[in-house]
Amino acid sequence: MAEIPTGRCARWPGGTVFLMTKTELHQLVDALPEESLPAAAILLRRAQDPVAAKLDAAPYDDEELTEEDLRAVEEARGEPGVPWSEADAELSAG
């Protein structure tokens, strides 16, 4: 298995980001077992979308839920859902 280079990382509010070159990334991909390729492809395709990449890199929100937040969650859980077929039809119409 290819090793992640040590000593080349950046601290991010949500954790640590390892810095690597495209060549190093290619080495990691080349070392993947065949059964890991579909998952890696999904992640790499997602990383190509600048909005998704920014959201993925955003720090985790570790703020505690307030009483108001908890009440809103409970209220939302009590509401009836929308069947996917209805949501899909509405989104497709529009």
Q: What is the pLDDT of residues 33-81, one digit of tens each?
A: 999 999 999 989 988 998 988 888 788 788 899 999 999 999 999 989 8
Its domain, for residue 25, covers 9-57
- 40 close to 29: Cβ distance less than 8 angstroms: yes
- 59 close to 12: Cβ distance less than 8 angstroms: yes
Given a cut of 80, is residue 17 above it in pLDDT? no
Given a cut of 60, is residue 83 above it in pLDDT? yes
In a domain? residue 86: no
**N-to-C CA span, the chain:** 47
Q: Which residues touch 17 (CB under 8 Å, ≥6 apart)?
A: 9, 10, 11, 57
In a domain? residue 85: no
In a domain? residue 53: yes
More confident residue, 3 or 30: 30
